[in-house]
Amino acid sequence: MGGGPLFPERPRVALTREHLDNPAPTNNLYAVVDIGSGSGYPFMMHIRGGPAWSLGIASGYSDIEGLAMDLGGGSTQLTWVVSHGSVLNISPQGSISFPYGAGALSRKLEELKKGKSKKEAKQAIDKLNQEMKDNFLNAYTKLEIPDRLAHEAKENGGFRMYISGGGFRGWGYLLLYLHQTKGRNYPISIINGYRAGRDEFAKTETLKEIARTADRIFRVSDRRRQQVPAVAFLINVLAESLPHGIKEVFFCQGGVREGILFQQLQPVIRRQDPLEVATTPFRTRSAGAIGVLLLEAIPPSSPENEFSIPSTLNIHIIQAFANCMYAHAGISKELASTAALYSTSTGILGAVHGISHGDRTRLALMLQERYGGHLPPREEKARAAFQALLSVQERWWIRYIGKLGLVLGILYPTGIIDSLWPRVLLSVRWASDLGKHQNKFGIELTFTAQTTSDHMMIKELIEGAKKKIEKVGKKKNRIGGRKGWGMKVKVVVDIST
């Protein structure tokens, strides 16, 4: 072997998440790298103009519109972000930095109390509170927030806020702890994609008490516990200072590292839906055609029709379902439905980045229905916890799509649409003449195929399976009971020779 390097030299860059506030640590770290490696390489403190942490946030969700904030140890940054597919828009100012990191603010609050009476300490802290409010309000003006975002916040009760950084993630895990103890069973323990409403997010006193008294909290270190009062202080100030307030927050795993990697992806890659891409390894060669069949079984939506499929059940999640429809087909019947239920939270898709908890839940429930929907008692409680995250409309449509998947799985047990097998077409219409008295509103789904006498068994298969879909439309299966949400479903089988 020659004496040359085994692998070609490639440019190396070291990244740190803190803002370029103090140059001294940069020099020190550069020296350590230089001595330790034998050859120095560039050290980069922060990406200016388009902060890398905002790209990290963008990597965590398919679509983002709202304010974005990153909370590190020494500083916190604020900007606005609008991200759809490959296009990311942020404030022309980039982001505005404040010296209110979780560690820095903890030390500041301790300093303000040290050697003072309770009254003096309160006065000093109140002064800091007002200073922070003024700074956040000034930043809000400087960031040039789009009128559309501000108008939506005013109309809808506040801004959506996407938050990242260790300080906020620690707060998110405290909220998860709150939602998974004392009889509450939130079903997903992944921080990225976790959503909290304004009231839950601002439960500062409750979470401070949990941090102080709980024996062990998942993913919250002793250092993070000590910073909880400072994070609570920051959240209270933020909620009081931002015009229109905060409606809901979305926690993000992505930071500088994920942002840099996301930035290096080609736009054509960033444009792809994370859930659809993540399920690609499990797809059969006919997954695209099966996805089309599923879409053909969904009637057209319109704003006037309250029964239309919710926009959250879009083409991407339908195709992701088609991709994964056979991932658990080799498992025994007693396990397949359970494995499918947990597939997006702890199973085959648990580690996928860039997916909201809502999408994880929708796909999990579709896949669980695809295997019949039968679960042992313990898992029925888990399913109920998943279902509690969704609207009644979503739950009904998920059951309908899942049962379609079950029937298509019976028709095509290997997931491959063979050219020798009769081609089945699906069509659907809204109908108001359903039921015994022809006065019920709902869906009429038609299976059409032209076949030879040798393949008439396909008619028997569909006739035997159609009741599985029609049961979704029974009153007893409505979401919330017989008077709950749902509609009639009629399946027509049109097989001719």
CATH number at residue 151: 3.30.420.150
List, in sequence order, every beta strand (DSSP E) within 2-129: 14-15, 43-44, 63-71, 76-84, 87-90, 96-98
In a domain, 1, yes or no: no
Give the type of residue at 162: Y
CA distance 30 to 370: 55
Tell whether 298 and 232 lie within a shared domain: no
Determine the Cα–Cα distance for residues 387 and 206; give it in Å rounded to an integer: 26
Mean pLDDT of 214-229: 95
What CATH number is given to the structural domain containing 322?
1.10.3210.10
The answer to whether residues 112 and 219 touch, using CB atoms and an 8 Å cutoff, is: no
What is the rounded distance in angstroms from the CA atom of residue 105 to the CA atom of residue 267? 38
423 with 470: CB under 8 angstroms? no
Last residue of a domain, one of 229, 260, 291: 260
Judge whether 93 and 144 are in contact, CB under 8 Å.
yes
Share of the chain residues as helix, strand and coil, in percent rounded to the nearest 5: 45, 15, 35
Q: Are residues 206 and 60 in the same domain?
A: yes
pLDDT score at 51: 80
Determine the pLDDT at residue 9. 60
Q: Are residues 70 and 187 in the same domain?
A: yes
- Say yes or no: 252 and 305 in one domain: no
Question: Does 208 share its domain with 156?
Answer: yes
Q: Cα(462)–Cα(476) distance, rounded to whole angstroms?
A: 23
Strand-pairing partners, residue 78, are 69, 96
Q: What is the DSSP string of 128-146?
A: HHHHHHHHHHHHHHHTT--
**Quick one: 153 and 301 in the same domain?**
no
What pLDDT, in 10s, does the model give residues 447-462?
Answer: 998 777 666 788 888 9
Over residues 105-128, mean pLDDT: 96
The whole-model pTM stands at 0.90
Q: If pLDDT is split at 50, 70 and 90, which confidence band does 45 have?
A: very low
pLDDT at 48 over 60: no
Residues 338 and 213 in one domain: no
User: Which pLDDT does position 34 carry in this prediction?
Assistant: 46
CB within 8 A of 450, min separation 6: which ones? 422, 423, 495, 496, 497
φ, ψ for residue 433, nearest 5 deg = -120, 35
Is residue 196 located within the same domain as residue 123?
yes
Specify whether 385 is located in the same domain as 246: no
What is the predicted pLDDT for the residue at 254?
87
How many other CB atoms are there within 10 angstroms of residue 421's CB atom? 14
Examine residue 37 and state whether it is found in any structural domain, yes or no.
Answer: no
Structure tokens, 150:
């501000």
CA distance 122 to 421: 78
- 244/230 Cα distance (integer angstroms): 23
Answer yes or no: is pLDDT of 297 > 50: yes
Question: Which of 230, 260, 290 is a domain's end point?
Answer: 260
Q: Are residues 307 and 425 in the same domain?
A: yes
Domain end: 260, 295, 316, which one?
260
Predicted confidence at residue 14, as pLDDT, reads 59
- Asked whether residue 115 is domain-assigned, the answer is yes
Model confidence at 44: pLDDT above 70: no
Q: Would the pLDDT of 3 be above 90?
A: no
Residue 26 belongs to some domain of the structure: no
192 and 282 housed in the same domain: no
Number of domains in the chain: 2
Mean pLDDT of the chain: 90
Mean pLDDT (whole number) for 331-349: 97
Choose the weakest-confidence range: 40-54, 174-188, 242-256, 408-422.
40-54
Percent of the chain beyond pLDDT 70? 89
76/219 same-domain check: yes
Residue 36 has pLDDT above 90, yes or no: no
Q: Is residue 221 part of a domain?
A: yes
Q: What is the pLDDT of residues 19-31, one digit of tens each?
A: 443 434 444 444 4
Domain of residue 284: give its range.
273-495
The predicted structure's pLDDT at residue 496: 82
Supply the pLDDT for residue 41.
45
Query: Residue 351 contacts by C-beta under 8 Å, 6 or more apart in sequence?
Result: none
Question: How far apart, in Å, are the Cα atoms of 206 and each of 126, 198, 214?
Answer: 21, 14, 12
In eight-state DSSP terms, residue 456 is T
Q: Write the pLDDT tens digit of every residue in 118-168.
A: 999 999 999 999 999 999 999 999 999 999 999 999 999 999 999 999 999
Q: How many Å is the maximal CA-CA distance in the chain?
A: 94
What is the tens place of the pLDDT at every residue in 271-293? 999 999 999 999 999 999 999 99
Residue length, the chain?
497
Any idea which of 347-356, 359-368, 415-424 has the lowest mean pLDDT? 415-424
Does residue 187 register a pLDDT over 60? yes
Q: Report yes or no on 415 lying in a domain.
A: yes
